[in-house]
């Protein structure tokens, strides 16, 4: 007689029994063998489960061992902590303990996670992001060691939630990137110094030309006037003298720019500030602006109801003159240049706009750099010493204001600067540049 050893639809084998004929003819006697077969199948099922359980335990043990080896030996910090403002570490690896300068794992587990942050607000923002998104990846945080030493870290973490979506704990990895950031900063500083040296070298080469040009003209016109063999008419003499006067002004501006840049770098720019209407400042340079825009259309918009600004009139006039002169260099003759002042909250915004060819987007962040010269889209030449806009920036910042540029190729450029509304009473003040 053959009976299958079956349990829960799985056949483990066959029970084959050899007995005398007729011994199991009755159903009741046959059922005895069937029950025996079931018991055997059940026992085999139990043995199978026990074997699988042993295999699972072994696999789990091996997995835990691998995880422990990994976490104990990696150079990055690994942690698990509770959520909330009073979060505590649940698990940390040796690398994390060493990273933050604690003596033992137990000591690190006893502190509040917030104690590792330099700024409490950064901790709040990090928590808000974790709650909102459930994870962070490569978040750069300003942390601190046990002794207060700053530590810049890159943190990646994920939230573990229960079936109701409530956060149970956070698992994360912390990498100390302090040295990397310091190296990057040093590299940027070195590159900035190299660029500055390159620009200074360019300035020195350019200044020899910029200074020589007006000096050559002055010398040439003066020598011509002094020629004993030629008798010049009064009109010719006046033309020569006007040319000498213009070239002298040009030379004076070049030297003045160099002196102003030197004062700004040394923090020695002195300001004599009073309350002025913007219209007064514009009137003080109106002749100069009219002369500069002889071949352009100058439009001035300065409402008389604007509140006064507390400024150095001469220095603000210098800024306006430089910006208008800059607009002329990059605008075709006959085009319009607009100087406009308007109120924006507690700031007066003054802008100088042209309708030239504009400045490429990639150059917008460079125009205020010292010694940087932009190529004129009108003449195709690089103009000036590259100090004018940098000086403007220094003067405006010394007045607690800001200066910026908006430009689109083919449409023109607009330089704007802000000035705080005046203090309400006149006074003279000396203030050093930034």
Q: Are residues 41 and 106 in the same domain?
A: no
Boundary of a domain, candidates 176, 206, 230: 176
Instruction: Report if residue 434 sits inside a domain.
Output: no
Q: For the domain that residue 414 is a member of, what is the CATH number?
A: 3.30.565.10
Shared domain for 322 and 382, answered yes or no, is yes
Is the pLDDT reported for residue 278 higher than 80? yes
**What mean pLDDT do residues 371-390 have?**
58
More confident: 193 or 339? 339
301 and 400 share a domain?
yes
Asked whether residue 429 is assigned to any structural domain, the reply reads no
- In a shared domain, residues 80 and 162: yes
Residue 248 within any structural domain of the chain = yes
Pairing state of beta strands 336-344 and 297-301? parallel
Considering the domain architecture, whether residues 283 and 400 belong to the same structural domain is answered as yes
pLDDT for position 12 = 76
Question: Terminus-to-terminus CA distance in the chain, angstroms?
Answer: 106
Same domain, 348 and 306: yes
376/293 same-domain check: yes
* CATH label of the domain that carries residue 118: 3.30.450.20
Q: Does 350 fall in a domain?
A: yes
Average predicted confidence (pLDDT) for the chain: 82
My answer on whether 113 and 137 are in the same domain is yes
- For residue 432, being part of any structural domain is answered with no
Closest by Cα among 317, 324, 304 to 396: 317
Q: How far apart are CA 374 and CA 359, in angstroms?
A: 9
Q: Model confidence at 378, in pLDDT bands (50, 70, 90)? A: very low
pLDDT digits (tens, 9 = 90+) for 329-338: 888 999 999 9
Q: What is the largest CA-CA distance in the chain?
A: 159
In a domain, 427, yes or no: no
Q: Which two tokens stand for residue 103?
A: 């003596």
| 194 lies in the same domain as 320 | no
User: Which residues is 14 bridged to in the sheet?
Assistant: 4
Burial profile 32-62: b = 16 or more Cβ within 10 angstroms, e = fewer: ebeeebbebbeeebeeeeeeeeeeeeeeeee
Q: What is the mean pLDDT of residues 270-299?
A: 90
Say if 246 falls within a structural domain: yes
Mean pLDDT, rounded, for 24-36: 67
Range of the domain at 247: 185-266
Confidence label for 308 from pLDDT (cuts 50, 70 and 90)? very high
Question: What pLDDT, in 10s, does the model give residues 230-257?
Answer: 888 889 888 989 989 888 987 887 787 7
Residue 196 pLDDT class (50, 70, 90 cuts): confident
- Residue 428: inside a domain: no
Res. 427: pLDDT tops 50:
no
Average pLDDT over residues 150-158: 93
Number of H helices, E strands in the chain: 10, 14
Q: Are residues 153 and 164 in the same domain?
A: yes
C-alpha–C-alpha distance, residues 83 and 114, integer Å: 11
pLDDT band at 291 (very low <50, low <70, confident <90, very high): confident
Q: Please tell me the predicted confidence (pLDDT) of residue 39.
A: 76
Same domain, 294 and 412: yes
pLDDT at 300: 93
> Mean pLDDT over residues 359-373, rounded?
75
Which of 24, 49, 72 lies at the terminal end of a domain, its last residue?
72
- Claim to verify: residue 321 and residue 410 sit in the same structural domain: yes
CATH number at residue 189: 1.10.287.130
Q: Model pTM?
A: 0.49
Residue 409 phi, psi (nearest 5): -60, 130
How many domains in the chain? 4
Predicted pLDDT of residue 358:
87
Of 266, 287, 313, the residue that ends a domain is 266
């Amino acid at each position: 007689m053959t009976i299958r050893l079956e349990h829960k639809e799985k056949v483990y084998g066959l029970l084959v029994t050899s007995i005398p004929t007729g011994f199991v003819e009755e159903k009741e006697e046959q059922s005895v063998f069937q029950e025996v077969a079931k018991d055997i199948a059940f026992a085999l099922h139990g043995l199978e489960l026990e074997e699988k359980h042993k295999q699972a335990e072994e696999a789990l043990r091996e997995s835990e061992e691998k995880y422990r080896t990994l976490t104990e030996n990696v150079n990055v910090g690994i942690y698990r902590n509770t959520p909330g403002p009073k979060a505590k570490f649940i698990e940390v690896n040796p690398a994390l303990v060493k990273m933050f300068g604690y003596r033992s794992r137990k000591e690190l587990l006893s502190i509040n996670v917030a104690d590792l942050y330099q700024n409490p607000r950064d901790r709040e923002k990090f928590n808000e992001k974790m709650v909102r998104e459930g994870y962070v990846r490569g978040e750069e945080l300003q942390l601190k060691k046990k002794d207060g030493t700053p530590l810049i870290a890159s943190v990646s973490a994920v939230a573990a939630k229960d079936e109701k979506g409530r956060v149970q704990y956070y698992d994360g990895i912390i990498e100390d990137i302090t040295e990397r950031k310091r190296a990057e900063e040093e590299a940027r500083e070195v590159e900035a110094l190299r660029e500055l040296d390159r620009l200074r070298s360019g300035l020195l080469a350019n200044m020899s030309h910029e200074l020589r040009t007006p000096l050559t003209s002055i010398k040439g016109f003066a020598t011509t006037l002094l020629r004993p063999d030629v008798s010049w008419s009064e009109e010719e003499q006046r033309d020569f003298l006007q040319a000498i006067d213009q070239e002298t002004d040009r030379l004076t501006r070049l030297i003045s720019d160099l002196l102003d840049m030197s004062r700004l770098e040394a923090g020695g720019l002195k300001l004599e500030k009073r309350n002025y209407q913007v219209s007064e400042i514009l009137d003080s340079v109106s002749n100069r602006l009219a002369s500069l825009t002889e071949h352009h259309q100058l439009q001035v918009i300065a409402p008389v109801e604007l509140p006064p600004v507390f400024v150095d009139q001469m220095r603000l006039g210098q800024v306006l003159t430089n910006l208008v002169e800059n607009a002329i260099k990059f605008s075709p003759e006959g085009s319009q240049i607009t100087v406009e002042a308007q109120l924006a909250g507690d700031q007066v915004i003054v802008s100088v706009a042209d309708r030239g060819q504009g400045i490429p987007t990639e150059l917008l962040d460079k125009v205020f750099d010292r010694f940087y010269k932009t190529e004129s889209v009108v003449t195709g030449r690089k103009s000036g010493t590259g100090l004018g806009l940098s000086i403007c920036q220094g003067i405006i910042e010394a007045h607690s204001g800001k200066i910026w540029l908006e430009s689109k190729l083919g449409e023109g450029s607009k330089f704007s600067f802000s000035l705080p509304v005046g203090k309400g009473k006149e006074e003279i003040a000396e203030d050093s540049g930034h």
